[in-house]
């Protein structure tokens, strides 16, 4: 296992291809560990990690906590609701108070883009970005790439379609950066109101026809509509969105090839994916959840070596 070129995991943009391959190769070894009868290794014994979440999370938070415990780290959980943040304490003061208790690493989710980057320049601990607003979600992109690689092998030349709410998705941007560094071709698909202007400057194809995107791709990574981030209406109704951009099993069966179906969760069943598509043999959604633990173990282990 070689070292990473960075002290913090703030975004895929900061990683090079060697870093990504190192994380994915290390994750493959940890996946073997978590499928043993005894799932723990002492790799991070005596390391204390704080999970500092200023936004709601189920999968990411549980996945990080499980990864930390599988590595034998001591874990501290912090939630903004019910903390001194509600009394007006700043982000930096909050984290410095946690670090005063001798914490070695911070895993942070925040609603403001750039919050982990700000923190990384002001504290001595390693910082892992678990999602910052609509900016990046690096560990999700890494686990998506790991899941694709497990299913398809080398991703160079593979065609990946990212379908749904691209504008408000941190997963989309991290996936674009990650998959391009691994040599994949990317297409984004969704209503024109949910695809950012100038996205084509990142070297991605753009489509507004979901059937065209499915016929083109080897993997369809479907994103949910992030209503909690939308200040205005971007389309008339969820029913209309589902009619034009929802994916069902009949559409998958009509393709003259097998494609892989992915979703970072949580799924809004009946909107972007029908239940028969989400639960079909095409889907590797639960594999993504399992792989998330191995990938996050790899990230924490490699950063702890820095």
The binding site comprises: 59-60, 87, 109, 137, 140, 170, 224, 265-266
109 closest CA partner among 58, 165, 48: 58
Asked if the peptide bond before residue 229 counts as cis, ω within 30 degrees of 0, the response is no
Distances 85 to 78, 206, 220 between C-alpha atoms, Å: 11, 41, 39
Is the separation of the CB atoms in 297 and 97 below 8 Å?
no
DSSP 210-231: HHHHHHH-SEEEE----GGG-S
Q: Residues annotated in the binding site for carbamoyl phosphate, as ranges?
A: 59-60, 109, 137, 140, 265-266
CB neighbourhood size of 252 (10 A): 20
Residues counted in the chain: 306
Question: For 50-107, where are the alpha helices, taking DSSP H only?
Answer: 59-70, 91-99
Q: Residues annotated in the binding site for L-aspartate, as ranges?
A: 87, 170, 224
């Amino acid at each position: 296992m070689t070292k990473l070129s960075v002290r913090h995991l703030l975004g895929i943009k900061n990683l090079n291809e060697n870093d990504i391959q190192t994380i994915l190769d290390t994750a493959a070894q940890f996946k073997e560990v978590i499928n043993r009868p005894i799932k723990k290794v002492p790799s991070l014994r005596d390391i204390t990690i704080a999970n500092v979440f200023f936004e709601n999370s189920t999968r990411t938070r549980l996945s990080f906590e499980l990864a930390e415990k599988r590595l034998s780290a001591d874990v501290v959980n912090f939630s903004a609701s019910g903390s001194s943040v509600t009394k007006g304490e700043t982000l930096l003061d909050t984290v410095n108070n946690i670090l005063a208790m001798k914490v070695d690493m911070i895993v942070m989710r925040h609603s403001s883009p750039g919050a982990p980057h700000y923190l990384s320049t002001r504290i001595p601990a390693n910082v892992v970005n678990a999602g910052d607003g609509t900016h990046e979600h690096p560990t999700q992109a890494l686990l998506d790439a790991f899941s694709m690689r497990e299913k398809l092998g080398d991703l160079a030349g593979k065609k990946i379609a990212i379908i749904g709410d691209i504008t408000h998705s941190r997963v989309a941007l991290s996936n674009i950066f990650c998959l391009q560094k691994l040599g994949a071709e990317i297409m984004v698909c969704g209503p024109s109101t949910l695809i950012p202007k100038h996205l084509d400057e990142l070297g991605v194809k753009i489509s507004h026809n979901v059937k065209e995107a499915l016929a083109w791709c080897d993997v369809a990574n479907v994103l949910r509509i992030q209503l909690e981030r939308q200040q205005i209406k971007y389309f008339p109704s969820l029913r209309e969105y589902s009619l034009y951009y929802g994916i069902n099993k009949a559409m998958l069966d009509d393709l003259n090839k097998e494609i892989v179906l992915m979703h970072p969760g949580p799924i809004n069943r009946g909107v972007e994916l029908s239940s028969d598509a989400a639960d079909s043999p095409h889907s590797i959604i639960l594999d993504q959840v399992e792989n998330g633990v191995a990938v996050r173990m790899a990230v924490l282990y490699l950063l702890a070596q820095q």
